[in-house]
A and B are shown apart, each in its own frame.
Chain A
Amino acid sequence: MPKKPATPKGLTWTIDDADRMTSAEIYGEVLTKLGHEHKDLVALTADLAGSTKIGRFKKDHPDRFFNMGIAEINMVAVASGMAAAGLTPVLSTFAAFAALRAAEFVRTDICYQKRNVKIIATHSGTSFGQAGTTHHCTEDFAVMRAMPHMIVISPADMYETAKATIAAVETNGPVYIRIGRSFEPPVHKDMNFEFTIGKAIKLHEGTDVTVIATGRCVAGAVEAAEIAKEQGISVRVLDMHTIKPIDEAAIMEAVLDTRRIITVEDHNVFSGLGSAVADVIAASGKGCVLRKNGLQDEFSMVGYPDDLLHVYKMDADGIMEAIQAILKMDFEKDEDWEDEV
């Protein structure tokens, strides 16, 4: 058994071209660099080395790269076995195949057995718009958050993807990272921000409404907050990059400070981010109104990814609409917080 290298804490090198790279290119690059430090890292894909960008790993580490062919189920089983042999497998395919086609194997072979496997699911939500519903995945939060031991991360842009990839490799146990097709606009300017699994990032301060967004919806939430500001509406934006474990403290702070919460996710509003937030609110006993933007229990249509963000009210326009609507909710008859628990 080769000696495991000391785990580097945090980012020990910089991604020079981060601003010119997509999320997928970034994680491919990050993994490849991590592969030099962590000799136990192995990468697997299912005939999507190029599409998911995990193929970048092969260039530097050809003997630790495994293309498993169009057989995602077996890829998951093999990754479980590799982890049991002391390796740290990172597998990448489209979200629809990782989270749905291979779901029972992810549950039984990775989560149930607590195997140290990382899944990087690309083309999630409606981000592969033109490919149509078979290649969209608006159910993966629901599936993955129901699996004990699984950490579920949904980075907002390429910088967060880089940090999430590093955090996942440095965390022992199963991690599911969900990214889009990688044409998301950046939310951060550079890598200079704190990223901790399970801790939301406050991107905009506000006291009237809180928008809790995740993944490729975060950019629209920030844009909406700026538009709202011009209209005299104070909107807080939380980038909820970790769906599980969810940042309960940030949600409760939002409940107490704004009482009006909008969630935005490129996912069915059933059992995704909105439902995770609702769980926290309902258990708190505090009064709050919640609107969930995303797919309203319907299959997504074919279209350009940006158009679909608009259609399903996951862009700045749709979020502004929700902000206007939620502000009309009347709480005035009951401003006494003390009686609500």
Chain B
Amino acid sequence: MPMKPAEKRKLEDIALRIRESIIDTTLACGGSHLGGALSQTDILVALYYKYLKIDPKKPDWADRDRFILSKGHGGVGHAAILADLGFVDPKELKKFNKTGSPFGMHLDCLKVRGVDASTGSLGHGLGIGIGMAIGARLTGQKWRTYVVMGDGEQNAGPVWEAAQSAAHYKVTNMTSFIDRNKLCIDGEVEKIMGIEPLADKYAAFGWRTVEIDGHDFEQIGEAIEQSFAEKDKPFMIIANTCKGKGVDFMEDKAQWHYAGLDDETAKKALASLRKGHKNA
């Protein structure tokens, strides 16, 4: 179903709020994975505010949909959403990275309410997601599993072990994304270790793939709804994104993969986010 303009505007407003929170947390905690947290935001906002069947009051609700941020370094952005929805107290975000805090750069599912798998080590999330999805299917549970990977993560061998098993076991109660922001820590993914032709690779592994603009809520929503209809192959959404999205001086720059912010820079970042906001 096409997304209504009002709904799109609502999601864009939420995405701005989440990106602001990422900047605020980074300022408070000394440093975070800004670039990838900003690039993934629209995908996560679409999932958490439109598609995921979840209840912040019941984080362990057995019938909830499962969400795995396989690119676990986006934890600062995931936590911003969990706080915004009420899974965790927003004040807790100020403790990010502090000694003894439940929040580190990569979220721990035993410590942070609403996190379904502890990730951070790349190449794990897709396999875990497949296990969850097969588990749900085997036990007749109706919930769906969602996985978001990074594009640099595609270099990791376990991703492809998982990819072949999803096709083999026809895992169709799962929707997967690649946040294709084109940059990893050391620079451009294609220069460090090329992953193209990515869509063809997944297709060759037996997946249905679609490529979208990962910052366009209509396209994100359409792709997710397409994945619901797919009953034969696992479904991969390659979401073309911009690392550092929304902060003009961070966009498409690898040095903002992980960085700290001082008051001045944080202020500039927030101003840039608001200036670029479509519904301002």
B117-A71 in contact (CB<8A): no
A69-B128 in contact (CB<8A): no
A66-B141 in contact (CB<8A): no
Contacts A77-B124, A112-B118, A113-B110; A84 near B131 (Cβ below 8 A): yes
* B62 interfacial by beta-carbon distance below 8 Å: yes
Q: How many residues of A contact B (CB 8 A)?
A: 32
* B29 interfacial by beta-carbon distance below 8 Å: no
A85-B165 in contact (CB<8A): no
User: Which residue of chain B lies nearest to A108 when distances are taken between CB atoms in the complex?
Assistant: B121
A86-B165 in contact (CB<8A): no
Q: Which of B124, B136, B168 contacts A105 (CB 8 A)?
A: B124
* A81 interfacial by beta-carbon distance below 8 Å: yes
CA distance A71 to B159 in the complex (A): 11
- Looking at A85, A87, A89, which has the most chain B CB atoms within 10 Å of its CB? A85
Question: Shortest distance in angstroms between B270's beta carbon and chain A's nearest beta carbon?
Answer: 35
B134-A82 in contact (CB<8A): yes
* B162 interfacial by beta-carbon distance below 8 Å: yes
B135-A86 in contact (CB<8A): yes
Contacts of A112 in B (CB 8 A): 108, 118
Contact with A along B160-177 (1 / 0, CB 8 A): 011011001100000000
CA distance A108 to B145 in the complex (A): 19
CA distance A113 to B106 in the complex (A): 13
User: Which residue of chain B lies nearest to A74 when distances are taken between CB atoms in the complex?
Assistant: B161
Contacts of A83 in B (CB 8 A): 131, 135
Contacting B at CB under 8 A, from A111-134, are 112-114
Question: Shortest distance in angstroms between B166's beta carbon and chain A's nearest beta carbon?
Answer: 9
Contacts A77-B124, A108-B118; A1 near B62 (Cβ below 8 A): yes
User: Which residue of chain A lies nearest to B169 when distances are taken between CB atoms in the complex?
Assistant: A66
CA distance A69 to B165 in the complex (A): 8
Question: Shortest distance in angstroms between B102's beta carbon and chain A's nearest beta carbon?
Answer: 14
Question: Shortest distance in angstroms between A42's beta carbon and chain B's nearest beta carbon?
Answer: 7
Contact with A along B126-138 (1 / 0, CB 8 A): 1111111111101
User: Which residue of chain A lies nearest to B141 when distances are taken between CB atoms in the complex?
Assistant: A1
Contact with B along A43-85 (1 / 0, CB 8 A): 0000000000000000000011010110101101111111111
* A306 interfacial by beta-carbon distance below 8 Å: no
A78-B128 in contact (CB<8A): yes
CA distance A109 to B164 in the complex (A): 19
* A104 interfacial by beta-carbon distance below 8 Å: yes
CA distance A135 to B203 in the complex (A): 35
Contacts A42-B138, A85-B141, A108-B121; A77 near B131 (Cβ below 8 A): yes
* A2 interfacial by beta-carbon distance below 8 Å: yes
* B90 interfacial by beta-carbon distance below 8 Å: no
B117-A85 in contact (CB<8A): no
* B157 interfacial by beta-carbon distance below 8 Å: yes
CA distance A121 to B37 in the complex (A): 39
B139-A2 in contact (CB<8A): yes
* B197 interfacial by beta-carbon distance below 8 Å: no
Contacts of B168 in A (CB 8 A): 69
Q: Which of B135, B158, B161, B162 contacts A87 (CB 8 A)?
A: B135
* B140 interfacial by beta-carbon distance below 8 Å: yes
CA distance A113 to B124 in the complex (A): 12
* B66 interfacial by beta-carbon distance below 8 Å: yes
User: Which residue of chain B lies nearest to A81 when distances are taken between CB atoms in the complex?
Assistant: B131
Question: Shortest distance in angstroms between A69's beta carbon and chain B's nearest beta carbon?
Answer: 7
Contact with B along A269-309 (1 / 0, CB 8 A): 00000000000000000000000000000000000000000
Question: Shortest distance in angstroms between B41's beta carbon and chain A's nearest beta carbon?
Answer: 25
Contacts A71-B164, A82-B132; A87 near B138 (Cβ below 8 A): yes
B130-A78 in contact (CB<8A): yes
B157-A73 in contact (CB<8A): yes
CA distance A84 to B168 in the complex (A): 21
* B185 interfacial by beta-carbon distance below 8 Å: no
CA distance A112 to B131 in the complex (A): 17
A2-B128 in contact (CB<8A): no
Contacts of A104 in B (CB 8 A): 121
Q: Which of A63, A74, A77, A85 contacts B135 (CB 8 A)?
A: A85
A74-B133 in contact (CB<8A): no
User: Which residue of chain B lies nearest to A67 when distances are taken between CB atoms in the complex?
Assistant: B168
B139-A84 in contact (CB<8A): no
Contacts of B161 in A (CB 8 A): 71, 73-74
Contact with A along B105-130 (1 / 0, CB 8 A): 00011100000111011001011111
B118-A79 in contact (CB<8A): no
Question: Shortest distance in angstroms between B202's beta carbon and chain A's nearest beta carbon?
Answer: 16
Question: Shortest distance in angstroms between A155's beta carbon and chain B's nearest beta carbon?
Answer: 27
A109-B135 in contact (CB<8A): no
Interface residues of A (CB under 8 A from B): 1-2, 40, 42, 63-64, 66, 68-69, 71, 73-74, 76-87, 89, 104-105, 108-109, 112-114
> 7 tightest A-B contacts by CB?
A81-B131, A85-B135, A77-B127, A74-B161, A78-B131, A71-B161, A81-B132
Interface residues of B (CB under 8 A from A): 62, 66, 108-110, 116-118, 120-121, 124, 126-136, 138-141, 145, 157-158, 161-162, 164-165, 168-169
A sample of 26 cross-chain residue pairs with beta-carbon separation below 8 angstroms, ordered by A number, consists of A2-B140, A40-B139, A63-B138, A66-B169, A68-B165, A71-B164, A73-B158, A74-B127, A74-B162, A77-B131, A77-B158, A78-B130, A78-B134, A81-B131, A81-B132, A84-B116, A84-B117, A85-B134, A85-B135, A85-B138, A85-B139, A86-B135, A86-B139, A108-B120, A109-B124, A109-B128
Extra 17 A-B pairs, beta carbons < 8 Å, given A82-B131, A85-B131, A109-B117: A1-B62, A1-B139, A66-B134, A66-B169, A69-B165, A74-B158, A74-B161, A77-B126, A79-B131, A80-B128, A87-B135, A104-B121, A108-B124, A112-B108, A112-B118, A113-B117, A114-B110
